[in-house]
Amino acid sequence: MAAESNASARSAETDKLWNETGVDPVELHLGKDSGFTLRAYRMSDTLPGAKAAEEPETDADEAAAKEEDAPVEDAEGRPEADEAAVPEDEDAPEPDASAFEDDEEPEAEVEEDALDAAPEEVPVFLTRKGKLLVFREPEALVAYVRENDDHDLAVIDEYAELQERLTADDVSCDEDDTYELDLVVANLRGGHDAWEPELLIKAAEVGRDLGYALKNDSIVGALSPGSPLDDLDETFRVVVEGGLRGKLAKRRLRKNDSQQAAIAWRGVIAKVNDHVDWRG
């Protein structure tokens, strides 16, 4: 099934569909099962929930505001004196400006907050209620997309167009979008000489994407910057680049415990598997 879809070249119409919608079919191999799902990358500020919308002020809010501003009357119905209206004592000392400095937010912190809020490109999958929908057959994927919009991928602007145009022939994945997670653990256990950097780099890529899309802190943490698996991934990337740095990176790889790496990756793949909803 999966091998056949990759064996045949995609048509120009299929390439046009994926390019114009900014979506790609993804093929996942997990243990004894494999299938297809969809993934898109979008800027975080274009997705729902990126910015909290300001609620329009209602008549009740306006009335409450006016009531707050109204003068307070004393027991005889006369307006009480407003503290702000009391004449200032000209002989009173000037207030100490330094007393207000603590109330001002440091410029560095403001800049840091602005950086934290900066939009970034994030993955959006065919996920629903914390589960990744994966379809064993292209026809099942197409039928679901055409009939449903109650999942996370439906938030993208191009989803309605995808529903209209998608056919089973379009569910043909590029090699870059095919992830053989079922081979990762066995490859790592085979020892340093058997390791396939491209296989393991791609596994880390899709692992990070899925961890983010599924909002799974355990997966995200296992592949986050500074983690052993992330360090291993960075080393593999240097090896693939080649040159002198690549040779030095190969030596560095030998310092990694292959069994520990296999155990760590087995945990990540198991968590991904726990969040897959197999269909079709």
- For 187-242, the pLDDT digits (tens) are 999 999 999 999 999 999 999 999 999 999 999 999 999 999 999 999 999 999 98
Q: Structure tokens of 148? A: 């449903």
Lowest mean pLDDT segment, chosen from 2-16, 86-100, 262-276: 86-100
Distance from C-alpha of 83 to C-alpha of 177, rounded to nearest angstrom: 69
User: What does the pLDDT read at residue 246?
Assistant: 85
Percent of the chain residues past pLDDT 90, beyond the cut: 63
Per-residue model confidence (pLDDT) at position 67: 52
Please tell me the pTM assigned to this model: 0.73
For CA atoms 150, 26, 222, 32, give the dihedral sign. positive
State how far the Cα of 263 lies from the Cα of 280, in Å rounded to an integer. Answer: 31
CB 142 within 8 A of CB 27: no
Tell me how many degrees the CA angle 204-163-138 measures, rounded to the nearest 5.
55
